């Protein structure tokens, strides 16, 4: 695994770090010399990731519900205190309920509310409460994990597509407003990546084949491939990259 020189000593808060892409990003950042605060719902999965990466106090675990403002505020306060500041925020926590989400004419209100609570309100809360520390850094960066569905739409999962579209707009707005403080903000949009979130596509041969045929590289992505892009965006090597949407989808045609 390559180490990005632009990450050495950077202090980064990662949400949704207990598994999948979040855990892969945490591993990449730790290997590249970053100090990390990792958050997710409390539990053994988060504990395992932290135990794997813990080294001389460079990794701290803070369990929280991303939709609860008091908990998010506490996470940001503790992360800033323990790490001695914040240089980066990686908003990865999110949900994709392919079996409950639906087209708008039959989309239950409770599903709409729950998806937007995690996928939009959660990142908003972390941006809100981490902003002061990121501005003090003078080289702060927010990477919000959106989706290709956020700008291409999704015919079946309207709440998910709407939530990711809103997150892209929020990201651009943050970049434009706080760039004067040296703060960068980027929306990272993965395609289909082999994690538990898309187990349904991997397990169903018909769906898996349809996804592969719609992807120029004819395969699903791997978490480490997203982590490599994330590490670059969070590093000083990307110091002139802001207010953009970065697709990492293998040429997915939506």
- DSSP letters, 185-227, are EEEEEE-SBSSGGGHHHHH-HHHHHHHHHTBTTSS-B-HHHHH
What is the distance between the alpha carbons of residues 225 and 117, in angstroms, rounded to a whole number? 27
Structural domain that includes position 130: 5-195+222-248
| Residue 116 domain-assigned (yes or no) | yes
The pair of structure tokens assigned to 70 is: 């008091």
Q: For residues 189 and 206, is the Cβ–Cβ distance under 8 A?
A: no
| Confidence at residue 214, expressed as pLDDT on a 0 to 100 scale | 73
Give the N- to C-terminal CA distance of the chain in Å, as an integer.
31
| Confidence at residue 103, expressed as pLDDT on a 0 to 100 scale | 97
Q: What are the backbone dihedrals phi and psi of residue 39, each rounded to the nearest 5 degrees, phi first? A: -135, 150
| Residue 136 domain-assigned (yes or no) | yes
If we measure between CA atoms, which residue out of 57, 84, 62 comes closest to residue 73? Answer: 62
| Residue 201 domain-assigned (yes or no) | no
Q: Model confidence over 31-55: pLDDT tens digits?
A: 999 999 999 998 889 999 998 897 6
**Pairwise pLDDT comparison (202 vs 11), residue with the higher score:** 11
In the annotation, is 160 catalytic? Answer: yes
Total number of domains constituting the chain: 1
What is the distance between the alpha carbons of residues 223 and 15, in angstroms, rounded to a whole number? 15
| Residue 204 domain-assigned (yes or no) | no
Q: Model confidence over 205-241: pLDDT tens digits?
A: 676 777 777 777 777 778 999 999 999 999 999 999 9
| Residue 203 domain-assigned (yes or no) | no
| Residue 214 domain-assigned (yes or no) | no
Q: Measure the CA angle with vertex 140, ends 197 and 126; round to 5°.
A: 45
What is the distance between the alpha carbons of residues 162 and 116, in angstroms, rounded to a whole number? 8
Q: Which residues pair with 14 in a beta bridge?
A: 38, 90
Q: Model confidence over 64-101: pLDDT tens digits?
A: 999 999 999 999 999 999 999 999 999 999 999 988 99
What is the distance between the alpha carbons of residues 146 and 247, in angstroms, rounded to a whole number? 9
Those residues whose C-beta lies under 8 Å from the C-beta of residue 136, and which sit 6 or more positions away, are: 85
What is the distance between the alpha carbons of residues 103 and 78, in angstroms, rounded to a whole number? 40
| Confidence at residue 203, expressed as pLDDT on a 0 to 100 scale | 62
**Which of 90, 96, 160, 178 is the catalytic position?**
160
| Confidence at residue 91, expressed as pLDDT on a 0 to 100 scale | 98
Question: Which CATH number covers residue 141?
Answer: 3.40.50.720
Q: Model confidence over 120-173: pLDDT tens digits?
A: 999 999 999 999 999 999 999 999 999 988 988 989 999 999 999 999 999 999
| Confidence at residue 161, expressed as pLDDT on a 0 to 100 scale | 96
The pair of structure tokens assigned to 204 is: 């169903």
Which whole-number Å values give the CA distances from 15 to 20, 23, 38, 108, 230, in the listed order? 12, 9, 6, 27, 13
| Residue 253 domain-assigned (yes or no) | no
**For 133-155, b where at least 16 C-beta lie within 10 A, e where not — what string?**
bbeebeebbbbbbbbbbbbbebe
* Residue 187: pLDDT over 70: yes
pTM: 0.92
* Residue 116: pLDDT over 50: yes
pLDDT band at 1 (very low <50, low <70, confident <90, very high): very low
The pair of structure tokens assigned to 140 is: 């702060």
| Residue 138 domain-assigned (yes or no) | yes
* Residue 108: pLDDT over 90: yes
């Amino acid at each position: 695994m390559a180490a990005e020189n632009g990450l050495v000593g950077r202090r980064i808060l990662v949400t949704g770090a207990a598994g999948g892409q979040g855990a892969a990003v945490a591993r990449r950042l730790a290997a590249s010399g970053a100090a990390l605060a990792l958050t997710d719902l409390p539990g053994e999965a988060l504990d395992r990731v932290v135990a794997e990466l813990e080294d001389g106090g460079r990794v701290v675990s803070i369990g929280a519900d991303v939709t609860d403002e008091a908990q998010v505020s506490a996470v940001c306060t503790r992360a800033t205190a323990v790490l001695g500041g914040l240089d980066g925020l990686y908003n990865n926590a999110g949900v994709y309920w392919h079996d409950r989400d639906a087209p708008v004419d039959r989309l239950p209100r409770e599903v709409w509310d729950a998806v937007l609570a995690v996928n939009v309100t959660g990142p908003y809360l972390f941006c809100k409460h981490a902003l002061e520390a990121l501005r003090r850094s003078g080289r702060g960066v927010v990477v919000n994990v959106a989706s290709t569905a956020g700008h291409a739409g999704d015919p079946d999962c309207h709440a998910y597509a709407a939530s990711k579209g809103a997150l892209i707009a929020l990201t651009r707005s943050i970049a434009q407003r706080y760039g004067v403080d040296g703060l960068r903000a980027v929306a990272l949009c993965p395609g289909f990546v082999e994690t538990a979130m898309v187990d349904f596509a991997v397990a169903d041969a018909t769906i898996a084949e349809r996804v592969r045929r719609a992807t120029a590289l004819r395969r699903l992505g791997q978490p480490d491939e997203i982590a490599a892009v994330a590490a670059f965006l969070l590093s000083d090597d990307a110091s002139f990259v802001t207010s953009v949407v970065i697709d990492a989808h293998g040429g997915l045609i939506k």
